[in-house]
Structure 1
């Protein structure tokens, strides 16, 4: 299999359970890893997953506020497969930096690994 990924794409977004998170927002880091069949050499962009396309999908999904990070990673996973049907497996990991928990925590994390 061939792996294509984006690591630590940074976003300012408004996901969160508490009402103030929808107003204040937070900083997020997103990792997307996809795997496609890779048994022959690829020499054309149309034969692979364009990582610019991965970013465009991420940007669209991250722009829609959700109360739970779990909803975000599921939406991303579904959108990836819809745009790139050749994806066999994906891992989407979303980190919320400095979550509002009243404690010094670097980040919270939700990760979804899916086989199609």
Structure 2
């Protein structure tokens, strides 16, 4: 298998369950790794997953506010598979930095690992 990934892509977005989160927004850090068959060397972009394309899909998904981070990672996983049918496995991890919990917490995290 061949892995293509983006690590620590940062976004400012408005995901959150509480009304103030949808108004104020927050910083998010996204890691995405996808796997495709990798039995032969790749010498053309059309034979792989373009990591710029991964970012474009992520940017589109992150722009739509959702109450739960779980919704975001599922949506992103599904959108990547739709754009790149060769994907056989994905791991999407989303961190909300400094979540508004009244405590000193670096980040909350939701991660989805999927086989297709």
- The normalised TM-score by structure 1 is 1.00
Deviations 1:59-96 (A, max 9, x none): 00000000000000000000000000000000000000
Give ranges in structure 1 of 5+ residues lacking alignment: none
* Structure 1 match to 2:81: 81
Q: Secondary structure at the match of 2:76?
A: helix
Shift of 1:20: 0.4
CA distance in 1, matches of 2:41, 2:7: 24
Shift of 1:29: 0.1
CA distance in 2, matches of 1:85, 1:40: 18
Q: Which runs of 4+ in 1 moved over 4 A?
A: none
CA RMSD of aligned residues (A): 0.2
